């Protein structure tokens, strides 16, 4: 029996700034952990390169969204301080220091580690000084045939203002000397590289010196830049790239059609306010300052790099090259044994729930549910939420088939899913054309819940079949992200999902739900109640336990509740992949809280919450992280898993294995830094789950 604890009267107030970390700096630490994967010698070399380029892509989005937001706060926030006590200006200064250090490490790994090791495997990215005469001749021919026709140099003078540079596009700033046909004396010109051009070009057999020889488009253009300025002397040519604010702004209460409003805003994303300029490290200071002046940026917003400014484009090597041991071994996601053969999925669900764990288990049962719904004459209606589904989606195709087959199809399409707006707009239009009822959710709140409802006329009457998940209905990311999905024919779940859809599509007061927790109504308050119940149990000497797995944690009310539970003596394990603004291990406040982050082959994406609840264990899978936006500005669901066998499996696969991970885990320290867990047996959670779900000879696992 655990000993009750009394609060320490000398402990700080639970809203004290010293108990909260900065959100943006916490996110940068996650990007650093991703980059550390590129240093692991036990990871295949091309996968290390992939982690490197993922860290670069992550950093791009960080600037596009988070840095741009903090800059706006610094401009208009009038001294506002966040929960961590920092002003926006103070946060920007620290962000700059850490981001510059991260970029330096990215290029050090690329130039000093990964590219040299790739050369040992016959994979080379050739610099201009390494080209043979034959290679130079081929590259020159390639430039004239494939590149030159689509380049448009802009000489900067009163008649040619600085061009409107697209977000994250590759560009060159060129210094030119001489006099042209119009009598103009040389100066500075800008040459954008169209996005249609491939950034990584493989040299053909007979020209290449190794099996896989590549050149960068930036090198091809640089080597032939004089061709763009005939009769002039080119004094210097330097790559640069600008990153812009990419958040869309639409006043939803002032528009009549959200789809058309967002579609009209999309082109502006490429030309928002600049937040960062990257130039190659050979660029003279006066040219770098000239660029900063053009984009109204300060010196700390300049990043000079030794290599391609569009680092993420190097990821093309990962798809172009295939050699033994250079990539993770392929695997085939398993199917639950209950779905073996040509079974009736609806009959299987009537016999009991199915829990799917992606990517170890296949996403195909979800597709099968949709496809059967489209073709089954007894299915009357299909309702679904779509947040991210991709531009080429079998999920969306199945929904259209159902609509064309005469089913009553309702699709709640979230048009504001960041960076997926265009794909979602396209699908919404196609759904309408197929005869589906398309809505865009609730004004002012994103619909982030993952719900599928099928209404079928069974022999004993109408029955609702549901799928509720932690991840998007995206068949490609289901192979890359870890997520859970519950498929069920339980009437109480079906009724709850029906009620949520009614709230999303019509006018309805919040009806009492028997199973689901729904944001922005009951989720936050119920989570806080469950945490407080564990604290009360610990105070009276009864067993208590909290384990929660999520992507991000920064909701102050829930953090304070966790602090109170820790003060009461509740053992708390938090498995938080990315942002975590809670400080673990603070004496008198969070001594019983441990925070770990799992960074491995797959992106940890599932949200799973466990509460001991006096032995009546409560386990939820959810679409929501513990963030203010998820709790109060989005429509989210948390689903209880009540089947004892499935609940035990969920506790083991989602929580216990992560806590025991001795390969891919990082332990968070009180100051917000992370320490890699020392390697130990057994292996990491992801490796163990891959082994557990390897299909047997018939292609199905036992779960």
Answer positive or negative: Cα dihedral of 592, 602, 394, 434: positive
CA distance 4 to 541: 5
383-396 burial code (b ≥16 CB/10 A, e <16): bbbbbbbbeebbbb
Q: What angle, rounded to 10 degrees, do the helices at 88-108 and 23-36 form?
A: 10
- Residue 309, SS3? coil
* Nearest to 661, CA basis, from 593, 575, 550, 552: 575
H-helix or E-strand spanning residue 639:
strand 634-640
Distance between CA 595 and CA 659 in Å, rounded?
Answer: 10
Q: How far apart are CA 190 and CA 199, in angstroms?
A: 18
In the structure encoding, which two tokens stand for residue 125, read together? 């990215």
Q: Could you tell me which residues are beta bridge partners of residue 280?
A: 305
Contact 608, 623 (CB under 8 A): no
> Which run of H or E residues covers position 246?
none
State the Cα torsion 500-504-508-509 to the nearest 10°: 60
User: One of 31, 222, 238, 448 is an active-site residue; which one?
Assistant: 448
The CA distance from 389 to 337, in Å, is 27
Q: Which residues pair with 442 in a beta bridge?
A: 445
DSSP code, position 553: B
Radius of gyration over every alpha carbon of the chain, rounded to an integer in angstroms: 28
- The set of long-range contacts for 495-499, using a CB threshold of 8 Å and a minimum separation of 24, is 495/464, 497/383, 497/451, 497/453, 497/464, 497/466, 497/468, 498/453, 498/464
Strand order in the sheet with 171-177: 154-155, 188-192, 171-177, 233-244, 274-280, 302-305
Query: Is residue 299 helix, strand or coil?
Result: helix
CA neighbor of 609 nearest in space, from 512, 474, 517: 517
Look up tokens 């020392």; give the residue.
678
Start-to-end Cα distance in the chain? 34
Residue count (the chain):
703
**Residues 140/224, Cβ–Cβ less than 8 Å:** yes
> Are the beta carbons of 14 and 583 closer than 8 angstroms?
no
Beta-carbon-side half-sphere exposure of residue 324 (alpha carbons within 13 Å): 0
Tell me how far apart the alpha carbons of residues 516 and 264 are, in angstroms, rounded to a whole number.
Answer: 36
CB distance 404 to 435 below 8 Å? yes
The string over 492-523, giving b where at least 16 C-beta atoms fall within 10 Å of a residue's C-beta and e elsewhere, is ebbbbbbbbbebbbeeeeeeebebbbbbbebb
For 479, counting Cβ atoms within 10 Å of its Cβ (0-12 exposed, 13-18 middle, 19+ buried), the class is: middle
Residues 6+ apart with CB under 8 A from 210: 122, 123, 124
Q: Is 448 a catalytic residue?
A: yes
Beta-strand pair 302-305/274-280: parallel
Q: Which residues are catalytic?
A: 448
């Amino acid at each position: 029996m655990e000993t009750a604890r009394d609060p320490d009267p000398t402990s700080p107030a639970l809203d004290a700034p010293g108990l909260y970390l900065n959100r943006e700096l916490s996110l940068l630490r996650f990007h650093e952990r991703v980059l550390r994967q590129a240093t692991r010698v036990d990871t295949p070399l091309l996968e290390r390169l992939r982690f490197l380029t993922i860290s670069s892509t992550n950093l791009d989005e960080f600037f596009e969204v988070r840095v741009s937001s903090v800059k706006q706060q610094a401009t208009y926030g009038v001294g506002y301080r966040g929960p961590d006590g920092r002003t926006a200006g103070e946060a920007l200064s620290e962000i700059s220091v850490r981001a510059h250090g991260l970029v330096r490490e990215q290029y050090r790994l690329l130039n000093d580690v990964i590219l040299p090791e790739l050369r040992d495997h016959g994979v080379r990215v050739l610099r201009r000084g390494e080209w043979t005469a034959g290679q130079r001749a081929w590259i020159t021919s390639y430039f004239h045939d494939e590149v030159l026709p689509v380049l448009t140099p802009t000489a900067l003078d009163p008649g040619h203002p600085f061009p409107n540079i697209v977000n994250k596009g590759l560009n060159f700033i060129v210094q030119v000397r001489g006099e042209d046909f119009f009598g103009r004396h040389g100066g500075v010109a800008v040459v954008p590289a169209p996005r249609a051009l491939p950034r990584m070009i493989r040299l053909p057999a007979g020209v290449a010196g190794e099996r896989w020889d590549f050149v960068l488009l930036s090198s091809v253009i640089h080597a032939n830049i004089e061709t763009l300025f005939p009769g002039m002397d080119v004094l210097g040519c330097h790559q640069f790239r600008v990153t812009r604010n990419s958040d869309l702004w639409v006043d939803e209460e002032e528009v009549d059609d959200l789809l058309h409003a967002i579609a009209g805003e999309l082109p502006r994303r490429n030309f928002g306010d600049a937040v960062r300029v990257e130039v190659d490290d050979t660029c003279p200071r006066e040219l770098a300052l000239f660029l900063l002046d053009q984009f109204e940026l300060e010196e700390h917003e300049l990043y000079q790099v030794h290599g391609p400014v569009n680092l993420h484009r190097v990821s093309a090597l990962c798809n172009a090259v295939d050699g033994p041991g250079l990539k993770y071994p392929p695997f085939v996601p398993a199917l639950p044994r209950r779905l073996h053969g040509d079974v009736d999925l609806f009959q299987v669900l009537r016999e009991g729930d199915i829990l799917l764990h992606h990517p170890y288990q296949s996403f195909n049962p979800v597709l099968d549910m949709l496809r059967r719904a489209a073709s089954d004459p007894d299915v009357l209606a299909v309702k679904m939420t779509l947040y991210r589904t991709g531009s080429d989606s079998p999920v969306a195709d199945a929904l259209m088939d159902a609509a064309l087959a005469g089913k009553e199809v309702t699709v709640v399409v979230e048009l504001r899913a960041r960076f997926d707006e265009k794909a979602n707009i396209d699908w919404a239009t196609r759904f309408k054309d197929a005869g589906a009822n398309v809505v865009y959710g609730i004004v002012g709140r994103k619909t982030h819940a993952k719900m599928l409802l099928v209404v079928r006329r069974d022999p004993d009457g109408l029955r609702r079949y549901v799928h509720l998940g932690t991840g998007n209905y995206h068949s490609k990311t289901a192979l890359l992200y870890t997520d859970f999905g519950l498929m069920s024919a339980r009437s109480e779940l079906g009724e709850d999902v029906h009620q949520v859809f009614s709230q999303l599509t019509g006018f309805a007061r919040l009806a009492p739900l028997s199973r689901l927790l729904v944001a922005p109504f009951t989720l936050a308050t119920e989570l806080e109640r469950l945490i407080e119940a564990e604290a009360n149990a610990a105070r009276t000497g009864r067993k208590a336990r909290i384990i929660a797995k999520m992507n991000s944690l920064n909701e102050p009310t829930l953090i304070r509740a966790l602090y109170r539970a820790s003060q009461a003596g509740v053992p708390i394990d938090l498995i938080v992949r990315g942002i975590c603004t809670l400080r673990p291990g603070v004496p008198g406040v969070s001594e019983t809280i441990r925070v770990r982050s799992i960074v491995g082959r797959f992106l940890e994406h599932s949200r799973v919450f466990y509460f001991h609840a006096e032995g009546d264990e409560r386990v939820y899978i959810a679409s929501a992280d513990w963030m203010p936006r998820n709790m109060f500005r989005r429509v989210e669901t948390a689903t209880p898993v009540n089947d004892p066998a499935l609940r035990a499996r969920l506790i083991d696969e989602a929580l216990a294995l992560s806590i025991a991970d001795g390969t891919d885990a990082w332990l968070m320290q009180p100051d917000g830094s992370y320490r890699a867990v020392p390697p130990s047996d057994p292996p990491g959670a992801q490796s163990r789950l891959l082994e557990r779900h390897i299909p047997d000879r018939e292609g199905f696992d036992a779960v």
